[in-house]
Amino acid sequence: MSSLVLNVQGMSCGGCSGKVKKAVEAIDGVDKVDVVLETGAVTIDYHQPTLQADQFKEIIEDLGFDVVS
Amino acid sequence: MSSLVLNVQGMSCGGCSGKVKKAVEAIDGVDKVDVVLETGAVTIDYHQPTLQADQFKEIIEDLGFDVVS
């Protein structure tokens, strides 16, 4: 299993972080997503080796948030 | 000029309502967007007669919110 942490800006309430969590968890091959609202850290555990950071970034940016790293 | 009010669910902070306002205001032909966070009312003033409610709904739903009417 692989794990990846993205730094997401623009989440300002539980509704924001919940949307990010829900959208990333819906990606095929993703096992678990933890979002820390205060820091913007989004930790993604996944088992599908073809998944890449850019795919996660795109999904999150489509929701109106910025992925800075 | 035309005006339309959508009932949007799922906005729980100023960040949420700001994303909706910004995304709808970016649509060509839209003049002004007012969002009332507490009620979910999104009022859209636009001058482009070919714009339809479904286009606004799609943009808002893409951000992860529900348009209920």
pLDDT single digits (tens) A17-60: 999 999 999 999 999 999 999 999 999 999 988 999 999 999 99
- Identity of the residue in B16, B22, B62 whose CB atom sits nearest the CB atom of A15: B16
Average pLDDT over chain B reads 94
Say which amino acid occupies B52.
Q
pLDDT for position A63: 93
Taking an 8 Å cut-off on Cβ atoms, the answer to whether B64 and A14 are in contact is: no
pLDDT for position A47: 95
Of A62, A8, A68, the residue nearest A36 (C-alpha): A8
* Chain A contacts to B (CB-CB under 8 A): 10-16, 19, 22-23, 62-64
Mean pLDDT of the region B18-33: 96
Q: Which helix (H) or strand (E) holds B61?
A: helix B53-62
Query: How large is the ipTM?
Result: 0.71
- Is the sign of the CA dihedral B51, B52, B54, B60 positive or negative? positive
Could you tell me the pLDDT band of residue A1, with boundaries at 50, 70 and 90? confident
Going from the N-terminus, what domains does chain B have, and what CATH number goes with each? 2-63 (3.30.70.100)
Q: What pLDDT, in 10s, does the model give residues B34-59?
A: 999 999 999 999 998 899 999 999 99
